[in-house]
Amino acid sequence: MSAQSQPDPRADASAVSDETLMASHAKLLGQQPDEKGRYRLMPLNLLFIFSGMIFFGGTYLGRFSGYFNPGVFNEYSTGTAVVAAAPLDPIVVGKKLYLTPGACVTCHQPNGAGLPGAFPPLVNSEWVTGSEERLIRVALHGLQGPIKVAGVDYNSAMPGFGQGTGFNWSDDKIAAVLTYIRQEWGNKAGPIAVEKVTAVRTKEGARSAAWTAADLEKLP
């Protein structure tokens, strides 16, 4: 009777563990099995460092980029001081406004003498060098009807130049042109402040009608 053959252990799957199979495969592939199988600290540290750098860069650009306009901020500037623009001389501005075609110069002429029998002069005029509030009202809303200037009677109409008129001059422009005519051609009266014009305009509200000399003479 022949000897009983021994079973081949390779055929017994239960005899081979998973670890043995993985080790065998790794050996065949020429690799060592990864015994740790977990993240290392170094990549996480780098991730935090790079994240911090990106956050800092975004914050810096948000504060100092000036919408990427090179004229807003330049960290490499040589430190040249920015010189504030000098305030405009109201006499210069007022003269330019006075000489605007279709404005004051049309009736009152470049020399402020007006036209005899038609338009009153601004030179030596009590209406120009007198009450500031009366003069401001004339400039803002206009003047019509009879008026006596330097002892001479006139009867004409003057348009308003303030806001809401065809000229729509701002308070600072009104102040400048009135300051100009009060100190030009030998007139010697004080300047008109912008705040004064604003106060009168606010007081009168949305007035659209031109003034008459009689109405203005009732005012202080």
CA geometry: angle 130, 99, 90, nearest 5 deg: 55
- DSSP one-letter string for the chain: -PPPPPPPGGG-GGGS-HHHHHHHHHHHTT----S--S--HHHHHHHHHHHHHHHHHHHHHHHHSGGG-TTT--TT---PPPPPPPPPPHHHHHHHHHTSTTSHHHHH-TTS--BTTTB--STT-HHHHS-HHHHHHHHHHEEEEEEEETTEEEEEEEE--STTSSS---HHHHHHHHHHHHSSTT---PPPPHHHHHHHHHHH-S--SPB-HHHHHT--
Are residues 193 and 95 both part of a single domain?
Answer: yes
Are residues 27 and 108 both part of a single domain?
Answer: no
pLDDT value for 61 = 72
- Alpha-carbon distance of 179 to 94, in angstroms, equals 7
List Cβ neighbours of 102 (8 Å cut-off, separation of 6 or more): none
pLDDT value for 38 = 55
Are residues 170 and 211 both part of a single domain?
Answer: yes
Is 1 a member of any domain?
no
pLDDT value for 59 = 80
Digits of tens for pLDDT over the chain (220 positions)?
455 556 555 555 555 566 776 777 666 666 555 555 555 556 677 777 888 888 888 887 777 665 566 555 555 666 566 667 778 899 999 999 999 999 999 999 999 999 999 999 999 999 999 999 999 999 999 999 999 999 999 999 999 999 889 999 999 999 999 999 999 999 999 999 999 999 999 999 989 899 999 999 998 7
Q: Which CATH number goes with the domain that contains 167?
A: 1.10.760.10
pLDDT value for 125 = 97
pLDDT value for 174 = 97
Are residues 169 and 77 both part of a single domain?
Answer: no
**Number of domains forming the structure of the chain:** 2
C-alpha dist (Å) from residue 200 to 140, 162, 194: 9, 11, 10
Tallying the residues shown for the chain, one arrives at 220
Structural domain for 191, as ranges:
90-217
Are residues 52 and 107 both part of a single domain?
Answer: no
pLDDT value for 184 = 97
Q: Among 57, 82, 107, which residue terminates a domain?
A: 82
